[in-house]
Each structure stands twice: as structure tokens, then as C-alpha cells.
Structure 1
Amino acid sequence: MTHPTDFPRDPNRAALPAHLRTALWLAGIGLPVLPLREGKEPFGNCPACTRSACGDRPHMKAAGPCRCPAPCHAWGAATTDPDVLTGPAWARAWSQAGAVAYHPGGAGLTVVDLDDTDAIVWARQTLPATTVVPTTRGEHWIYRGTMQSKNGVRPGIDVKSTMSYVRWRGPGAGTMAALTDIVRTLVVKEPTVRQTHAVIVAVPAGGGQCPHRSPAYLERGIAMAEQRITAATEAIHTTVYRTFLAVLSAHGRCGCLTEAHTGRLFTAAQIKGESVRHCEVAWTNARTALGM
């Protein structure tokens, strides 16, 4: 991959502001771009577009909410058109720009923005390897494919794709992977439960021994359930729920499950990134599905 610093060899572009040269290079490889002010914020709307005077509200789910020639509407202004980027309406913005941003969804991309060390450690243990771009405090993990954008999907983690923008920090390294379910589920809201149920299966009188299976069968089943959760590389939410469902289907009614068994299953799920609350919800939903 070439780099936008190659542009000074073109005498027509050598005199352009550095951020505009970068933007033209990015536009040339298919990334819709826009200027950012110092502080990574988009430029404010022009007088004709302020307070939605241009009628942008009905169209904000699509890029380019109005035909204003100025860099208005943040991500909605992102473009690959060199005539727009170099036009007089954008000239003042480029002269004051502090950085260049791009609209990942407009380029068919999704960026997982990891803002600290803990978030990076979690991603390396959980998400598929892909192109990684270092940032000031963390990393951007970039995938092919688009999805809903959402901030704060986990501590220190934002997802930016459609209706969002990302500051350009360089091409990064590594082969870009396709978007998978494990990334898409980051923005899925955990199901709510009206009433919290205990996650420990009560041990009945008689020591909790399964009346129709041996202790070895139970141990083998729990070990296999742990392995199934640990080996999952995508659709973690679904895998956890289905695993809980299988365990409860085999042992949920005979009283052989103990707090130690459920603790092992919850621990395996949390290592894969699930919260305690989601484990509780998945367990409760599995019990409900089985009529328990």
C-alpha cells in the first residue's frame, strides 16, 4: 500500500494542506472522508443547515443527508469526490483541520475501537485476528462488512461502522478479516428478565446423586460443556445459551447439579467475555424453555 506522503511528487497537490492531501489519497482508495477540528470533532453545520433548517432529520439514516456543499452533518458529509474535497466550501475547513476522519460504513467496514490495555487484552482473547491500527491509547481493529454503530459496548470499547466516523491513523498491519457474528453481537442488547432467578440448582436430599446416571457421566458432561464454550470463536451468546440448555436438559431435573458445576460453566462463559448478568439470563431462559 502506498502512503499519502507520496503526493508531494505531484506539483498540483504539493501546495495543498497536508490533511487534504491525505484525504484525497484515502478517497482514491474508496474511503469517504471528512475534516476534523482540533480535538477530533467534526466541523459545525453551516448557517443553512444549523438546527436542521435544511430538513436533514428525515434522512439521517443515509450518508449525505442534504446537498449542502459545506462539510456539514459530520459523518454524513464524508465523500470520495475530489471536486467536493477541493471545492471552495471545504477550503476553510481544511486550512483549520486538525485531522482527517473517514466513514467506515460508507466504505463497507467496521472498526472496533479499543481504548485501553484491558480492552486490547480482551479483544486478543476473543475477537478474530484482523487489520490492527495503533492509536494514542489503544488500537483500531478493522473488519470487512458493516453493522450498527454503538459506543460503550464493553468497558473501553466502541463499535463504529454505519452513521459514524473514525479518525484516520494509518493503514495498520495484518490481513483484514470478514465481519463475524462474534463482532456483531457486541452491539446486541442483553435480554431483560423481569424477575431474577437463582442460578444455583438446589441439591435435594440424598446427596444430589443422579438416580439414572453415574457421577462419571455427569463429570464428563460438565467437562464437555466447558470445552464447547471455550472453543467457540463466534456467536458466543448463542453458544452459552445452547450449552446451558443441553446441561439442564440432561441433569436439571434429577438434582445432581451443584453450585460447583454451575460455577464452572459460568467461569467458562466469562472467560469468553460474557458478563455475570448475561450468564444468569441465559441460565434462566434455558430453564424457562425446559419448563423448570
Structure 2
Amino acid sequence: MAYLDNIQTFVRVYELGNMSAAARDQRISAAVASARISQLEEHLNVRLFQRTTRTLNATEQGHMFYRGACKILEAVDTAEAEISNVTMTPRGSLFVAAPLGLGRRVIAPAVPTFKAQYPLIDIRLRLSDRKLDLAAEGLDLAFFLGIPEDSTLRIRKIADCPRLLCAAPAYIARRGMAESGEALVRDKHDCLNLRYPGAPEFQWPLQTPDGVRRFSVHGPFESDDGDVLTGWALNGHGIILKPVFEVADYLATGALVPVAKAEPPVPIQLACLYMHRRRQDPKTRLLIDFMAERIQTALK
């Protein structure tokens, strides 16, 4: 297994371009990661990386070995998946990501139940509203709202998630009710937006009598945490665009009320993304099936 460990570490160093980052990803020390690369280079009798105090770049032999190393790891994954299918005892760790709202309300509460059913599978959950790179961050799968940009990923659609615009009664009392997308822009309503590195410009797609239209909206606050936006809205600071399930409790109590009901936002796709080579992994399929059922129930 030592040689396989060395190959796994090499692949992560290559993909992340940083020894320390790869070590953290592998849950080992930087010294151990460096030693594994050195052992691999000694075994192959080539230099895989050119190292300086500030940079680390793969050599020509490193690029060549990476392609073969990925095939080796994929073959091992496939073999383990076949054994798990035969023995019906899927095991190992799954590194999973989800948006904050979905993760906190649906995914995280269901993890202990999944673990009770499949005690040999460990879940490592990461919650974030920012755009994630599955390969670079060592993720097995990610639940996702929207349309993925990376066409190399496999995608399983779970549901179309209805959304709405809403605000606190205090905000509406102060600024008035926005009845349409045109009113949002014309009256310069305070629209609270999700912003993270690489996020697109703020345009809210609404279903108008003339079809879907995108409205460029602005506001005084923005955050990369969707729950922070909800908190601001609850305190009367503006209008938010949210999946209905995230704000259903606040709508039921009247803490938030719908805005521009005649022109609701376009529903957003809720899906699961995973690396192509993970498609045969039974524990990946088990988790996706398990969570898809709970997500669909939560959206009803």
C-alpha cells in the first residue's frame, strides 16, 4: 500500500500545485508528503517536480507519470467498487460538498441516519455557497444549485427547486411593495445578493408576461453566505431571492413575505455532481440515492 499511497500523494501535489495543500488534503504532514514524492522519484529514477522555495512545477516526466497515475487510481477505484458490489459492504470515506442552506437544513441532519444504515462509510461534509472545484479540492461529490460550468463532471438531476423574492414587513413598510421586476430596478430597491469570487453579475431571472427576463439589481450589502443574506432580510435591510424551502418557516410566521408574486423567479436546478470515475462506486450511488429522496421530500 505504500507505493499506492505515494501515487495518491503525487496526484494531489500535481493537481493542487502545492506540497502543503496536498498534505492537508491527504491529512498528512508536509514532511510526509515530501518524503513520498522523493520515494517515488527514487523508485522511478526521474525527477517529477522542479522545486524552488516558492514554486513547484511538474517536469515532462511528471506530466507523463500523472496521466498513468490517474489510470492506476481509477483502476483501483473500479476494482474496489466491484468487490463492494459483490460483498454488499461498501466502505470508506466520502468527501461531500453542499450549499449552506441545503446543507444545514437537509444534508447535515440526514448524515447520522445514513451512517447508521451504512456504518462502514464515513462522511466528510463541507458546506459553502461559493463555486467549488471537485478535482482540486478532493471532493467525491457535490450537491449544487444551478447549471455546472465543468462539462467533464457527471450530473444527476434531483429536482427543479422553486424560488421566490421576499422581504420583511418592515422593509416593505419603509420602501413599498415591489410588484414586478421593472419596479425592482426603477425604484432602486435594496436587493441582497450572493457574491463570491468568480460569481456572475447580479441578474435576477423572472417569469414575466413577456417571458423570462433578467433584471440587473443592486443593493447595499452582499455576502458569500446565503444565510447571512436571509438574516439581513429578516432585519428589514432588503429583498432576497431564495429557494422556497430555505425560507418556508419565515413565510409561515410572516417574518418574511413574498415580493413581486406575479413575476416569480425561474426555478433553479438542484443536482448532484461527481467525478466521471466515481460512477461505479457503490457508496457514492448509495449517498446520492439516500439524499435525493430526502431532498425531494423537503421540496414538497
Regarding TM over 0.5, the answer is no
TM-score (normalizing by structure 2): 0.25
TM-score (normalizing by structure 1): 0.26
The structure, 1 or 2, with the larger RCO (C-alpha pairs under 8 Å, 6+ apart) is 2
Larger-gyration structure (1/2):
1
Which of the pair is proportionally richer in strand?
2
